[in-house]
Copies of this chain bind each other. A is one copy, B any other.
Amino acid sequence: MENQVIRERLSALRTQMKSAGIDYYMIPSGDFHNSEYAAEYFHTRAWFSGFTGSSGTLVLSQNWAGLWTDGRYFIQAERQLEGTGIDLFRMREKDVPTIKAYLAEHMSERQVLGFDGRVVSTQFGEELKEALSRKEIKLRYDQDLAGKVWTDRPALPCHPIYVLDDALCGKSFAEKLSDIRKVMAESKARAHLLCKLDDIAWLTNLRGNDVECNPVFLSYLFITEKNCYLFVQFDELTDEVRHYAQESGITLVEYSRILSWIDEFSFDGATLVDKNNINYAVYRTLKASAQENSAGVREDRNPTELMKAVKNETELKNIREVYLKDSAALTRFICWMKTNAGKEDMDEYGVQKRLDGMRAALPGFIELSFTTISAYGPNAAMMHYSASPETSAPIRAEGFYLVDSGGTYYGGTTDVTRTIAMGPLTQEQKKDYTLTAIAMLHLADTVFIKGCTGRNVDIMAREPMWRNHMDYKCGTGHGIGYMLNVHEGPHNISYHKAETAAQAARETALMPGMIVSDEPGVYKAGQYGIRIENILEVMEDIETADGIFYKFGHLTYVPLDPDAMDVTWMTPSDIEAYNAYQSEVCKRLTPLMQNDEERAWLASQTRAL
């Protein structure tokens, strides 16, 4: 059956294309800042194609349309594209061309490719330009044709911005700005354009609510040696923020003016910009405008990126406190789950709401740091499973329940995963849980020398798995923001070799003050999933004649599940590490339990093996 709604939308878009002189038009998935979650305003590709997956790109000409998406979404896309006349391109499958290759082959000489360059990464834009240059194809990156057709499009997210106390941030905006200007001076840049939302929020000590679960606000920041221009939606400004801006020497400019403002700005020297964190429209506009002023663009990493990743003493102190209260909440939830397994009716969505509520009741709670993953049995084998009231599976008194959750509080953003034995387990389940716990503790106990990156230490978590010929198909760890995004670079923990020189150059050494997740797992499709995630802080250990040594410290203190441990798979050192962690959990959490039952349960749950 034909999907008339989609066909009509595409037809209207083709009319716009014709009148704009555009032969091919492309609609990707992201927002202007490559945020992890794009607001409804940016769901253009879903509106025009019917495909609602989080990742995919629609491309169309007058007589053809295609949608590219990856393996996670092949089945969903097939179903949702039915009757739309849109061809599905299964990315990375054999003989399936990339968008670039497809356009290079099918577009004719001197045709025009249009797109909204604000939602395209600079890297992809440049690759397209390069690939299509032989046919002298013109890129029109200033075209939001979709917006003209999508008349009932939701508004851009627009929520009040708020100011964080310097005392909470440990460093004032003025101090941070001065650090940035030092880096600018060192790299002989007269200006710096920042497009990364969490970097802007961190630098300005401002927060907002424009991206789901990320306390950021839509913005750009342009810094010169003397001035600082913050591009925001004026509707987001409170008196407090206007006052703060004035006091801080921030000039406020309406968010939508970014391109024309750059175009008109008189550059008097190089602008420092991170090509990996700027959209193609802004990049091209900046390049062109700078060139007109005979100024250059200095491409390097955002200095904010590393400054933000290395938490200061105030941030660390607050983070440690926040993780403890968050750990206590999750522990009390686990106590309730295990105590009531088989006694109360439980389902994924119901218990998820229960846990979310416990977090929301904690002092200083702002929002969840991501949608809680509450997954029972085979659902937990899907790394990004999300329960809904409609599909929520009942939780029985057997097997594993996995919960991956976190919150943003005044004082930090948390992230933690525990897998819980709800009742009897198989031998295989116990083995897999035990290896996961060993892997997590093994990495956490690593001592390493200054200069090591996540690529060096990743094997400390994986080797206990590899030794048993098992592996998990994701990274071991990611950085985490301070009252900011739960996924934050530039460091991570992964063994994979960079695929490009640019990626290799971004590999970042682990430094004291960084925080990073440690989350090995076992995923058995159709059966069960296990993940244990602690957040670690990188700490100084000691300096000797041989070098400067670092270690990890736990931020997360939530019991491991002794019911799922099998000492058969543990060496004496493994047992020692397990007992030490459990004992520390007991010591730190006992004062935060709310009654004797919880305290007794905690003592039993953290007993030595």
Contacts and interface: CB of A to CB of B under 8 A. Distances in A.
Count copies of this chain in the complex: 2
Contacts of A542: 469
A463 B469 CA distance: 22
Nearest to A445: B467
Contacts of A458: 456
Interface in A453-477: 453, 455-460, 462-463, 466-467, 469-473
Given A471-B546, A544-B470, A546-B471, A448 B452 contact: no
Interface stretch (A277-285, A393-401, A497-505): A497-505
Given A497-B509, A501-B505, A572-B573, 7 more contacts: A448-B466, A449-B462, A452-B495, A469-B542, A469-B547, A501-B504, A504-B505
A80 to B, nearest CB: 30
Contacts of A467: 447
A541 B471 CA distance: 14
A549 B462 CA distance: 12
Contact of A456 (B495, B504, B505, B572): B495
Interface of A: 446-449, 451-453, 455-460, 462-463, 466-467, 469-473, 495-498, 501, 504-505, 507, 509, 541-542, 544, 546-547, 549, 571-573
A509 B495 CA distance: 11
A492 B171 CA distance: 43
Nearest to A469: B544
Contacts of A572: 571-573
A483 to B, nearest CB: 31
B496 A451 contact: yes
Contacts of A460: 459, 463
A463 B446 contact: yes
Given A469-B544, A501-B501, A452 B459 contact: yes
Contact of A471 (B457, B473, B547): B547
23 contacts: A446-B463, A447-B463, A447-B467, A448-B459, A448-B463, A449-B462, A449-B471, A451-B495, A451-B496, A452-B459, A453-B497, A455-B455, A466-B549, A469-B544, A469-B547, A469-B549, A471-B547, A473-B546, A497-B509, A501-B505, A571-B571, A571-B573, A572-B573
A459 B456 contact: yes
Nearest to A550: B466
Contacts of A451: 495-497
Contact of A497 (B446, B507, B541): B507
A173 B311 CA distance: 59
Nearest to A507: B497
A549 B460 CA distance: 16
